[in-house]
């Protein structure tokens, strides 16, 4: 169950990162509210996951899901550049996440 909490927490990190961008520096109400709610839920689920997962594994995977997810949202929805180096960097993050998952008990 901890892994499910962790994945959901990471996905909510993507939600709050995107909605924070849409909030224009917290000047737009609805995206600002979505950001705050998603942040609280993401932190709460991360805390639940950390009850049984090691700190280093949980935190790294949480931030990795958020980083790669936000990267993909930027490319797909915000038309940010998908250069070779940016894609390679994201691939390296994913490889690190997979290795952390495989190395956890």
Q: Which residues of the chain have pLDDT under 70?
A: 105
Q: What is the pLDDT of residue 59?
A: 93
Q: What is the pLDDT of residue 105?
A: 66
- Verdict on whether the full-model pTM lies above 0.75: yes
Q: What is the pLDDT of residue 100?
A: 82
Closest by CA position to 6, among listed 37, 51, 73, 71: 51
Question: Cα separation of 64 and 50, whole Å?
Answer: 16
Question: Cα separation of 56 and 2, whole Å?
Answer: 14
């Amino acid at each position: 169950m901890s892994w499910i909490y962790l994945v959901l927490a990471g996905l909510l990190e993507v939600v709050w990162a995107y909605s924070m961008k849409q909030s224009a520096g917290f000047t737009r109400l609805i995206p600002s509210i979505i950001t705050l709610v998603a942040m609280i839920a993401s932190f709460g689920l991360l805390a639940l996951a950390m009850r049984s997962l090691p700190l280093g594994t949980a935190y790294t995977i949480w931030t990795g899901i958020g980083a790669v997810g936000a990267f993909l949202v930027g490319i797909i929805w915000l038309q940010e550049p998908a250069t070779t180096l940016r894609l390679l960097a994201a691939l390296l993050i994913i490889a690190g996440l997979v290795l952390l998952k495989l190395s956890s008990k």
